[in-house]
């Protein structure tokens, strides 16, 4: 019987990527996360996971040398248009730490994700440096912009996914096939949650919310609260009949009138989390966790292709740099 593939994950957040990789068949031997609230959520949802609540700068990868996959969603603020896009000059840039850990752990494969801004022309030199650094450690690299909506997630959410496959395996990697128009609408996704308190307008609301959602935002400790983002994002939500100025504690009551607000559970479902995944009792923290997460269905789709590559091999071993069409 074939042994399960193992994974070390850095910057684990609320567990979106970890959950997706677990559904793809990977067994996590360590998850590293800095924020205590996030660590509690990871442990609460998966008590069997080895969650290490520590700064990734202090994490020693040598004890985990030889695992199958090193994964992580390194912080996006250095490359996000919502921030100053300082790139490598931003103290939150953890790509150097990811490269250090690749060198220490020497995994068979690497998976790193970040925001669309990472592909901006202003980061061409730094992006090339990161890819070259991974290649020099013995990996064939791949980079592509994936839209969550192409993998059944009911929101746009473009994310850059970098893959490295160790050269000694002689197996290339192929990104999962995109399935445009496969995602349900916001109305289809949330109807039962909107109606759970007997709101008489839920059915009509769902019929009008007939498109996928804009990208959920999470903000940071310093910026962003329990809402759906800045004015542009709120306007996009308003077109779907959602009041983005705040997050509700419960679904609308029977005689509710006007535009409803999402609950954190509704946000989580739009992000692709199962309803059984919990985020703690602090609403602002929960919204930040959910809004900053990597959708589990996307992580699962990519993870399955990595697993396929490691277990069975692929057709081509050329370095691939490809850009899918994304809309924000």
pLDDT recorded at residue 328: 26
Asked if residue 129 and residue 30 are part of one domain, the reply reads yes
Q: Kindly state whether residue 66 falls inside one of the protein's structural domains.
A: yes
Q: Kindly state whether residue 92 falls inside one of the protein's structural domains.
A: yes
Asked if residue 138 and residue 10 are part of one domain, the reply reads yes
Taking residue 136's Cβ as centre, other Cβ atoms within 10 Å add up to 10
Asked if residue 131 and residue 14 are part of one domain, the reply reads yes
Helical residues (DSSP H) of the chain, grouped into ranges: 16-23, 36-45, 95-105, 124-136, 186-195, 202-208, 231-238, 264-270, 283-291, 296-312
With bands split at pLDDT 50, 70 and 90, how would you rate the model's confidence at 121? confident
pLDDT digits (tens, 9 = 90+) for 180-206: 989 999 999 999 999 999 999 999 999
**Please, which residues have CB within 8 angstroms of residue 234's CB and are 6 or more apart in sequence?**
227, 228, 244, 245
pLDDT digits (tens, 9 = 90+) for 267-287: 999 999 999 999 998 899 999
Q: What is the mean predicted confidence (pLDDT) over 247-266?
A: 97
Asked if residue 194 and residue 168 are part of one domain, the reply reads no
Question: Does the predicted model carry a pTM greater than 0.95?
Answer: no
Q: Kindly state whether residue 327 falls inside one of the protein's structural domains.
A: no
Asked if residue 197 and residue 284 are part of one domain, the reply reads yes
| Count of residues making up the chain | 328
Asked if residue 159 and residue 214 are part of one domain, the reply reads no
Asked if residue 194 and residue 171 are part of one domain, the reply reads no
Spatial distance between the Cα atoms of 164 and 108, rounded to a whole number of angstroms: 8
Q: What is the dihedral of CA 101, 94, 87, 113, to 10 degrees?
A: 80
The most confident of 56-60, 93-97, 317-321, by mean pLDDT: 56-60
Spatial distance between the Cα atoms of 100 and 97, rounded to a whole number of angstroms: 5
For residues 74 and 112, the answer to whether their CB atoms sit within 8 Å is yes
Asked if residue 129 and residue 109 are part of one domain, the reply reads yes
Q: Provide the residue range defining the domain that includes 208.
A: 186-291
pLDDT recorded at residue 1: 57
Asked if residue 195 and residue 127 are part of one domain, the reply reads no
On average, the pLDDT of the chain sits at 88
pLDDT recorded at residue 170: 64
Which among 76, 83, 287, 314 is annotated as catalytic?
76
Asked if residue 46 and residue 153 are part of one domain, the reply reads yes
Asked if residue 141 and residue 20 are part of one domain, the reply reads yes
76 assigned to active site: yes
pLDDT digits (tens, 9 = 90+) for 141-185: 999 999 999 999 999 899 999 999 999 876 678 999 999 989 999
pLDDT recorded at residue 325: 31
Q: What is the mean predicted confidence (pLDDT) over 107-112?
A: 96
Q: Kindly state whether residue 326 falls inside one of the protein's structural domains.
A: no
Q: Kindly state whether residue 125 falls inside one of the protein's structural domains.
A: yes
Asked if residue 169 and residue 220 are part of one domain, the reply reads no
Q: Kindly state whether residue 304 falls inside one of the protein's structural domains.
A: yes
pLDDT digits (tens, 9 = 90+) for 209-235: 999 999 998 755 665 568 898 899 999
What CATH number has the domain bearing residue 34? Answer: 3.40.50.150
Give me the number of domains the chain comprises: 2
Q: Kindly state whether residue 328 falls inside one of the protein's structural domains.
A: no
Q: Kindly state whether residue 241 falls inside one of the protein's structural domains.
A: yes
């Amino acid at each position: 019987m074939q042994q399960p593939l193992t994974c070390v994950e850095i910057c684990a957040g609320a567990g979106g990527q970890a959950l997706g990789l677990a559904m793809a068949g990977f067994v996590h031997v360590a998850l590293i996360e800095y924020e205590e609230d996030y660590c509690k959520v990871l442990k609460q949802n998966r008590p069997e996971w080895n969650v290490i609540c520590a700064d990734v700068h202090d994490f020693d990868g040598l004890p985990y040398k030889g695992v199958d996959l090193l994964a992580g969603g390194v912080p996006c603020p250095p490359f996000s248009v919502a921030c100053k896009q300082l790139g490598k000059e931003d103290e939150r840039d953890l790509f150097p730490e990811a490269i250090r850990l690749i060198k220490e752990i020497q995994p068979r494969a690497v998976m790193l994700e970040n925001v669309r801004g990472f592909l901006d022309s202003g980061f061409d030199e730094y992006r090339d440096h990161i890819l070259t650094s991974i290649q020099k450690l013995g990996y064939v690299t791949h980079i592509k912009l994936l839209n969550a909506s192409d993998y059944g997630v009911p929101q746009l959410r473009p994310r850059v996914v970098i893959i490295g496959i160790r050269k000694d395996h002689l197996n290339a990697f192929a990104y999962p096939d995109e399935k445009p128009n496969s995602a349900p609408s916001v109305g289809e996704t949330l109807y039962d949650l909107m109606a759970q308190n007997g709101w008489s307008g839920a059915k009509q609301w769902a019929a009008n919310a007939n498109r996928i959602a804009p990208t959920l935002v999470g903000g940071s400790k310093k910026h962003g609260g329990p809402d759906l983002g800045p004015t542009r994002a709120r306007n996009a939500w308003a077109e779907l009949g959602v009041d983005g100025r705040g997050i509700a504690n419960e679904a609308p009551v029977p005689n509710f009138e006007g535009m409803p607000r999402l609950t954190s559970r509704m946000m989580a479902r739009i992000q692709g989390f199962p309803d059984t995944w919990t985020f703690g009792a602090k609403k602002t923290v929960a919204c930040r966790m959910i809004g900053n997460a990597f959708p589990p269905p996307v992580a699962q789709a990519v993870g399955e292709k990595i697993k396929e590559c490691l277990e069975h091999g692929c057709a081509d071993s050329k370095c691939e740099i490809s850009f899918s069409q994304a809309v924000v």
